[in-house]
Amino acid sequence: MEGLRWRTFSASAGIVLALVWAMPNIVKFSENSWWPSKQRMNYGLDIQGGLHLVMGVDVDGVVKESTTRMITSIKADLAKDKVEGALVKSDKPETGEIVITVATPDEKKKIEKLLSEHYSTTLQTVGSTDNSVSARYFDSYLNDYKNRVIQQAIETIRNRIDEFGVAEPSISQQGTNRILIQLPGMADAEKAKQLINTTAKLDFMILSHEKTPQELQGLIVEAEKAGNYKMAGMKYSDYVTRINSDLKAKLPEKTVVYFEKSSNAATMELGAMPFLLRTDTDLSGGALDDAFVGYDQYGGPQVSLHFNTAGAVKFADLTGNNVGKQMAIVLDKVVKSAPNIRDRISGGQAVISLGGGRDRNQMMDEAKMISTALRAGALPASLEQLEERRVGPTLGADSIKKAKMGAYIGAILIILFMLLYYKGMGVIANVSLMINILGVFALLTSFGATLTLPGIAAIALTVGFAVDANVLINERIKEELAMGHSLKSAISDGYSRAMSAIIDSNVTTAATAVVLLYFGTGPVRGFAVNLLIGILTTLFANVFVSKVIVDQLIVKFNIKKLSI
């Protein structure tokens, strides 16, 4: 009896939570409404229409630039080693190949030593003569570099699209030099393309301590209250412009307020941490050559920065004049990191230390995020539009209408079959099926997932294997009753003995869904996600909840006979 009470409580709590999460998709609640959840389900490009773009990334152009910088760097190193008259050139800069020609064999030995000591992880020697050495990028380094260029472009585009406020944009790599962009609900194609091609702005800024964090937060709250606005209701860039305009008279000269998103917050609005930054540092992303993940002496992840010649001088002066202070790394007015400056950093190279005391995977993710964000501002690759398709909402409406019709017809047929064939137990199975579908929509909404036409197909499939579970249970109960067992005993044995077959079928389906999720892209992944959610809700609704309902009828209402 005590176990049934707890199972009933768990089932009721699950149903209530599903109603709370799913209700905003049916009833539109205002921002001031008392309803705890106001998040609505996102719809994909195939349902609500939008913009489909394929952009080509000039990866070879970025590699050429990298090769040119490499040649400049080698020339500078040769000058330091007093190797006069060396000719460094590249006939195939897009592959990172260089040829260094000198006058004497002794100078050739200096070149080989230089490449071995300073470029051993980047360049490999592929040939030599009496007075020349040929080298090119390692294949692994070149492939990784090209991939980083693509990720840089994706990060830049994502920053731009997030600014546009498009819900659930799909931005993914396609092949080795293309990016697929799907913007559901987007109608202004020209503005979207202009925004996508905008280069991210990177700045290095020194933190000002002329206002304490408490004073700064107080000023922000006062300005928001006086102007009747908040970050949550505005674009981030518009909010930053507005708050700095309102606080201009109250902030020290040559300072600005930017924000960092808390690592525990899902969005900037939920965890914005303000920083007062000086605007007179004059060091931007144009001074940065590269940024990548490295490792400290203890094997911990860190971010390594490489500046160009002019940037190295500026960075050395900036760090030398601000030892003991924090330097904010700002991308598109968002503070990505604010490390402490320990001493003057010269030589054009710097390291962003991520601290310790945290999970290594979290530190690695942060290092990758920072390095990608820095590259997004430092090495913007030119983008070329290769394909554009505008999916009208009427096409999506027509598709969803037909999908709904198919789902309704299928559901009605299943409900009628269960009622006619299993009678009383069929009613319980149908109630559980409704709870199952409610749970699917509730989880999709709570996860912030996007519903697409393949997702609707997965929901239809969920209905199928949900009913299959009840068929297995009901048939097993009928067998137990045929052997003369009591209703209570037949139901208990029916559920327990059918469970192995139910678990087996759902595990194999889940394994297939996981494979689709891992290897698939776009619609295939959407189908897999919906399928996995359907498996969870089936085990909850059509197995657990249905058993609770039957047990309540037998134990609490003392029913001796149940048609099946």
Q: Which residues contact 51 (CB under 8 A, 6 or more apart)?
A: 45, 181, 182, 183, 186, 187, 189, 192, 388, 389, 390, 391
Q: How far apart are CA 492 and CA 273, in angstroms?
A: 56
- Assign 379 a pLDDT band (cuts: 50, 70, 90): very low
pLDDT at 167 over 90: no
- Of 92-101, 179-188, 408-417, minimum mean pLDDT range: 179-188
Give pLDDT tens digits for 109-128. Answer: 888 888 888 888 888 888 88
The fold adopted by the segment(s) 61-137 is Alpha-Beta Plaits (3.30.70)
% residues pLDDT > 90 (the chain): 12
- Enumerate the domain spans of the chain: 2-49+393-556, 61-137, 200-353
Q: How far is CA 465 from the centre of its chain?
A: 31
- pLDDT over 50 (residue 390): yes
**Interval 481-501: pLDDT, tens:** 888 888 888 888 889 888 888
User: What band does 532 get if pLDDT is binned at 50, 70 and 90?
Assistant: very high
Could you read off the pLDDT of 496-507 as tens digits, one per residue? 888 888 898 889
pLDDT at 129: 83
In degrees rounded to 5, what are phi and psi of residue 97?
-85, 135
pLDDT score at 287: 75
Q: Which pLDDT score, from 0 to 100, does residue 448 have?
A: 73
* Confidence band for 275, pLDDT divided at 50, 70 and 90: very high
Q: Select from 172, 164, 185 the least CA-distant residue to 43.
A: 185
CATH code for 2-49+393-556?
1.20.1640.10
Residue 435 pLDDT: 93
Taking 50 as the threshold, does the pLDDT of residue 412 lie above it? yes
Sheet-wide strand order for 178-184: 170-174, 178-184, 50-57, 383-391
pLDDT digits (tens, 9 = 90+) for 212-262: 888 899 999 999 999 888 888 787 888 898 999 999 889 988 899 999 888
Q: Which amino acid is at 361?
A: N
CA pair distance 303, 293, nearest whole angstrom: 5
Q: What pLDDT is attached to residue 415? A: 87
**Quick one: average pLDDT of 165-188?**
75
The model's pLDDT over 327-349, given as tens digits with 9 standing for 90+, comes to 888 877 888 778 888 888 777 77
In this prediction, residues 312-320 reach a mean pLDDT of 85
The CATH fold of domain 200-353: Gyrase A; domain 2 (3.30.1360)
State the chain's mean pLDDT as an integer.
81
Lowest-confidence range among 3-17, 408-422, 462-476, 519-533?
A: 519-533
Tens-digit pLDDT profile for residues 21-53: 888 888 777 666 777 777 778 777 777 777 888
Does residue 101 surpass a pLDDT of 90?
A: no
- pLDDT, residue 189, reads 62
